Amino acid sequence: MKRLGALVLLETLLLVLQGKKGISAGEDGFVKTNGAQFTLGGAPFYANGFNAYWLMYVAADPSPSERQKVSTLFQEARGHGLAIARTWAFNDGTQDRALQISPGLYSEQTFQALDLVVSEAKKNGIKLILSLVNNYEHYGGKKQYANWGRSQGQSISSDDDFFTNAVIKGFYKNHIKTVLTRRNTITGVDYKDEPAIMAWELMNEPRCTSDPSGRAIQEWITEMAAYLKSIDGNHLLEVGLEGFYGQSESQKQQDNPNFQVGTDFIANNQIPEIDFATVHSYPDQWLPSSDDRSQQDFLNRWLQVHIQDSQNVLRKPVLFAEFGKSLRTAPVEQRDRLFDTVYTAIYSSARAGGAAAGGMFWQLFTEGMHNFGDGYEVVLSENGSTAGIIADQSKKLNRIRRLYVELRNRARWAGGNVIRHNGIGN
């Protein structure tokens, strides 16, 4: 209650300071962590975001009108206050517009498309989370790496050998190094030195069902996180987890959907080089036979337990890095209700100085992209009710940041120590 009272005081202060220029969510500098909070420019960083996995792929299109969609998307996102974007920095194999054609062989044309994505995000004040490989075979993923291993004479029993085979791990480490040390042909800045990149993600939704004990993924994260950090000390790092509990907190497995995938939300995120936690939320996929009310009840529990564990056990920030509801199976009212549920939980935590730092819905399109659709897409110009909910959340999270900054800059009467990882002032 004390922290919330301080926020009311800050809101009053901000009204007094009306007309003064506030701070925007998009800002130069590297995002850092301080306990269970993100910081940017010395102040807590809470921000709304989105997924757009397709950005590099579309940026590599030979048609200028298609490539323009990348710029248009970032402009539309900025107009709705969105400040974080998550996208793929991989496309492995010989498929269309591949980035890594074979181990160590890269397409310069596709790399220049990724350069464009980074440049456009920077231009629009949007921070990027770049994922380095897929768990699934779309865009190559661990299946492609396993096939590369087989082609070099390795004895590969399943795609899960991605996590344990030394040769395959070498392929992946080379990809990490190649991406991190890439010099952007547009900005002239190496990726590892680029403040527009907020964080790296080791893998999109890692799963190792062949080892339900979780040891394989735990050891893989430990090795890869240390390797990445040996190259890049500027950026944050996260795993790409969906949030399932494992054997380290067996009593919490009751909060999972009814399946195990070899990951462990607590143990995986306790690895020192992992800077923040991620959670994905798809009640419609995980509980397909349940009605909307049951799915909402699950979602509420799922959100709260991960916020609490991030705050009290991990003591690291948490991003709800994917969430959504397919309009192929539900009306827009149900999707809007899901967005509101996720956003309310995040804002309640953020307003009290908590660990929930933002949410990133799946997925954002601009107009003319329906061939990419999966039912979860949001087109801001076409989905008015959802767009309004998104913009409102952006304003609320940015307002918290402005309040901190206004207090820090204009109310030193508070004793100078106005930014603390555990709340607003005392």
Q: Which residues, 6 or more positions from 145, have their beta carbon under 8 angstroms from its beta carbon?
A: 92, 133, 162, 168, 171, 172
Q: Provide the 3-class DSSP secondary structure of residue 165.
A: coil
List C-alpha distances in Å: 324 to 57, 195, 341.
22, 28, 11
Q: Which residues, 6 or more positions from 379, have their beta carbon under 8 angstroms from its beta carbon?
A: 365, 366, 367, 369
β-pairing, 356-361 vs 318-323, is parallel
List the beta bridge partners of residue 34: 37
Q: How many CB atoms lie within 10 A of CB 282?
A: 21
Cα–Cα distance for residue pair 80/298, rounded to 1 Å: 29
- 11 catalytic residue (yes or no): no
∠ Cα 3 320 92 (to 5°)? 150
- Residue among 51, 49, 344, 368 nearest 336 (CA): 344
Per the residue annotation, which of 76, 194, 238, 322 is the catalytic one? 322
Contacts 24+ apart (CB under 8 A), 408-417: 408/42, 408/43, 410/13, 410/17, 411/13
Cis amide bond preceding 363, omega within 30: yes
List the beta bridge partners of residue 201: 131, 238
Amino acid at 98: A
The DSSP annotation for 235-304 comes to: SEEE--------GGGGGGGGGS-S---S--HHHHHTSTT---EEEEE-HHHHSTTS-HHHHHHHHHHHHH
Cα–Cα distance for residue pair 208/262, rounded to 1 Å: 5
Q: Which residues, 6 or more positions from 415, have their beta carbon under 8 angstroms from its beta carbon?
A: none
Cα–Cα distance for residue pair 201/126, rounded to 1 Å: 17
Cα–Cα distance for residue pair 87/198, rounded to 1 Å: 12
Write phi, then psi, for 40 (nearest 5 degrees): -145, 120
Terminal-to-terminal C-alpha distance of the chain:
11
- 205 catalytic residue (yes or no): yes
Per the residue annotation, which of 120, 194, 205, 377 is the catalytic one? 205
- The residues that are catalytic are 205, 322
